[in-house]
Amino acid sequence: MGSGAGLRGWAERRPVLFPLLLSFFCAALSEPIRYRIPEEMPEGSVVGNLAKDLGLSVRELPTRKLRVGSEKPYFTVSAEHGELLVSSRLDREQICGKKPVCALEFEAVAENPLNFYHVSVEIEDINDHTPKFLQNSFELQISESTKPEARFILGSAQDADIGTNSLQNYQLSPDDHFLLVSKEKSDGSKYPELLLKMPLDREEQKSYHLTLTALDCGDPPLSSTAQIQVLVTDANDNPPVFSQELYRVSLLENVFPGTTVTRVMATDQDEGINAEITFSFTEAGQITQFDLNSTTGEIITRHMLDFEEVKEYSIVLQARDGGGMIAQCTVEIEVIDVNDNIPEVVFQSLPDLIMEDTRLGTYIALLKIRDKDSGDNGEVTCKLEGDVPFKLLTSSRNTYKLVTDGVLDREQIPEYNVTITATDRGKPPLCSSTTITLHIGDVNDNPPVFQQSPYLVHVPENNPPGASIAQVSASDPDLGPNGLISYSIVASDLEPRALSSYVSVNAQSGVLFAQRAFDHEHLRAFQLTLQARDQGSPALSTNVSLRVLVTDRNDNAPRVLYPALGPDGSALFDTVPRAAQPGYLVTKVVAVDADSGHNAWLSYHVLQASEPGLFSLGLRTGEVRTARALGDRDAARHRVLVSVRDGGQPPLSATATLLLVFADSLQEALPDLSERPTPSDPQAELQFYLVVALALISVLFLLAVILAVALRLGRSSSPTTWSCFQPGLCTKSGPVVPPIYSEGTLPYSYNLCVTQAGKTEFNFLQCKEQLSSGQDILCGDSSGALFPLCDSNESTSHQQAPPNTDWRFSQAQRPGTSGSQNGDETGTWPNNQFDTEMLQAMILASASEAADGSSTLGGGAGTMGLSARYGPQFTLQHVPDYRQNVYIPGSNATLTNAAGKRDGKAPASSNGNKKKSGKKEKK
């Protein structure tokens, strides 16, 4: 073993690289790369530069990941230089046994792209095994009668090496009686025979000691020795003789133990004990598969045979007679192969993951088929089971490549269970199946898909800000970041700056939030474009349209457009002819509702009416019509309260007040309208209380004056004093407040009559002829009159002068609801009782302010408070000054037009005779 160890240092390596035949259609090498190295090289020894022989540069090694695909790790590839290195002990005798050629074949695998290269490393034998005898000593008994040239088989030596390193020769120590002869078996092994050169004489020498040496031809040669002791026995003239020197037997490997292999026959011509023959194996220690019947010579199997382990047995038997003479024969047993080994599929390269975008024809795995049988029993065909997008390509004998043969889609089939069936050609054929699972790796090849397209969302108005109004959802069958979806708003028909104040979307959940409360009346609908985007590289996205419809809620009450309120908040009036027939269209209530649908479906209802059966109201039209003709007992003025109600739930409503007056003309309708209550005004109420207080003081003052005058007259009893109070002037005594105005002038005025004696007399002026329009009402015996009406047939010399005509109103300046009302174009004073009473009160209140010539009642100077009722155009310049006809007892002042003073004008003279009282009463 020492010399064998020295041979391990032999570093001569002769890499033999055959020419590389590269194919344009197959990247693998058609011929393997061959190396030849001696056995027992130390671990880490360089076999050859595999990367260089494959045409790979050092820079490509990290990406190509060159490695060895082998079942037993005899070799490895250096990651830095691509050299093929020894990784474990290479014992040729253990790997290949007695095979003349020992070659290790394996595949070198390179990735990116995946490729396979066949490599063959031939292991050369070195002389590392010494020939060994099974026994250190042998004993031979030779009869002295043995004739020269007799041969005796000696125990052979075994050498595990092959070729010149194996057992080549035997040597025997020099002796005069014996000679050594080397013989060779059919399998090439040699065994020694001892040849007797001259007769033996037991009496001269009973035994001989010889040394047998076994030699090989290695460098250096190795040898071993065994001792032979020859005992000389008495004569046994005839040795046993076998029926044949060589027995050949064929035996199936699947025979059961105890099966008879063959039977050897031997005879001995001697008699007696010298003729008794016993059989035995010359090398009994090596024979483990067979038993020998020493008496009959029958050979039987001891264990099951295995063709794959031992294909042939060569057994040497000897027959010994009772005299010690022996004979030898050889039995050669050929083991016949039986198809008893199932093919085995071995994967030498298998990826963990296959990307779904792998191209057709890409190498996936390298597999090898192993069948220990030989001949047809070892010929194997391989195929794929089922419908899978893969196929097998033959790379070399019993080596296959698994390549893609179809489109891979992980979303449809995430993994494939590939079953590979290997079947041999034996009879009957044997097969085996191996199933592997190929996992398909995900690629971002699927954009997100929305569950519906487009989206239509109904959102009730007045929604709370921040509430969720919708949710969009998209799915992506990809995995990991390729299937992680985020949502965003990419477009809208709203203003870009205002979009964020309307809606927002949660990027993870796709929930759409309202950022404000929507108003159906301002925004009926808007459209968004949402995008679902995955996180792959490159990222894929899909857009969807989402339309938001803001549905209406009943949040707007009806609004009445007609009848509208006046500037002071009072309701306007409508006139109805007294002769209106049933069904006459009086007016129409016009209302609108900002809502829509049922919420804006208006209906009109009468809530309150002064005469319920007189008018009818259209439920949907709002038209007010007369239900019957006006009766004699029906009032002229009517008030109808109308409710306008929508169709929402709950319904909302508004009310409108209709003032309807039956009159044939506007002048006839004005007195009825004067009875309407005016809206309360704190300033007006204060003025009213001041006027009432002033009136009471004036009345008390006048009563005191009248009482004083009456007492004075009662004392004097002068008839001239009563001339002013003639009984024929008026029918009744007392002050009169007329209910209406005459044509453009006040119906009454006051005048003081002063007698020549200096006594003051108070007269009522006679009614003028111009009051004919009001005589039917005023001059009759009306129960509502406060003053006795004047007799039209009587006249007096103290007549009221006619008023000035320059104060008449133009069409635009007339008080009332509209300047376009039908009326007298001459500008007659409106027949309004309230205005008359108010004007009279203002005149009386102005008497207390005559000294300073200013008026504080109502608005600015010169307005007498009339502008509050009739507008800024109605000033004192349009009103005749009746204060000039009023005399204040106890004062020498006569009321004048303050505005006239301001304007620098004297009071206008009347068209008639107008008396002035300028004398003072002497007391």
Type of residue numbered 689: Y
Among candidate residues 749, 733, 811, 744, the one with its CA nearest the CA of residue 772: 744
pLDDT band of 917, cuts 50, 70, 90: very low
Q: Which of 315-329, 541-555, 813-827 has the highest mean pLDDT?
A: 541-555
Residue range 346-402, pLDDT digits in tens? 888 888 899 999 999 998 998 888 888 888 888 898 999 989 999 999 887 788 999
What the block records as the tokens of 644 is: 């306008």
Residue range 762-785, pLDDT digits in tens? 333 333 333 333 333 323 333 333
Q: CA geometry: angle at 830 spanning 827 and 831, to 5°? A: 140
* Structure confidence at residue 292 (pLDDT): 92
* Structure confidence at residue 30 (pLDDT): 53
Per-position DSSP letters for 487-541, written without gaps between them: EEEEEESS-HHHHTTTEEE-TTT-EEEESS---TTT--EEEEEEEEEE-SSS--E
* Structure confidence at residue 675 (pLDDT): 52
* Structure confidence at residue 906 (pLDDT): 37
Name the residue with higher pLDDT: 866 or 464. Answer: 464
What does each C-alpha distance from 685 to 547, 835, 840, 861 come to in angstroms? 60, 15, 16, 20
Q: Which residue has the tokens 């060589």?
A: 246
How much is the mean pLDDT over the chain?
A: 75
Q: Average of pLDDT values for 859-874? A: 37
* Structure confidence at residue 850 (pLDDT): 41
Residue 423 has pLDDT above 50, yes or no: yes
CB distance 415 to 379 below 8 Å: no
* Structure confidence at residue 330 (pLDDT): 92
Residue 414 has pLDDT above 80, yes or no: yes
Q: Which residue has the tokens 């199932």?
A: 342
Phi and psi at residue 474, to the nearest 5°: -130, 150
pLDDT band of 159, cuts 50, 70, 90: confident
What the block records as the tokens of 461 is: 């108005």
* Structure confidence at residue 698 (pLDDT): 92
* Structure confidence at residue 742 (pLDDT): 35
Residue 833 has pLDDT above 60, yes or no: no
pLDDT band of 158, cuts 50, 70, 90: confident
> Cα separation of 108 and 100, whole Å?
25
Among candidate residues 410, 406, 408, 407, the one with its CA nearest the CA of residue 478: 410
CB distance 34 to 120 below 8 Å: yes
* Structure confidence at residue 683 (pLDDT): 67
Beta strands in 94-189, from DSSP E residues, in sequence order: 103-110, 115-124, 132-133, 137-143, 151-153, 157-158, 167-172, 178-184
Name the residue with higher pLDDT: 443 or 238. Answer: 443
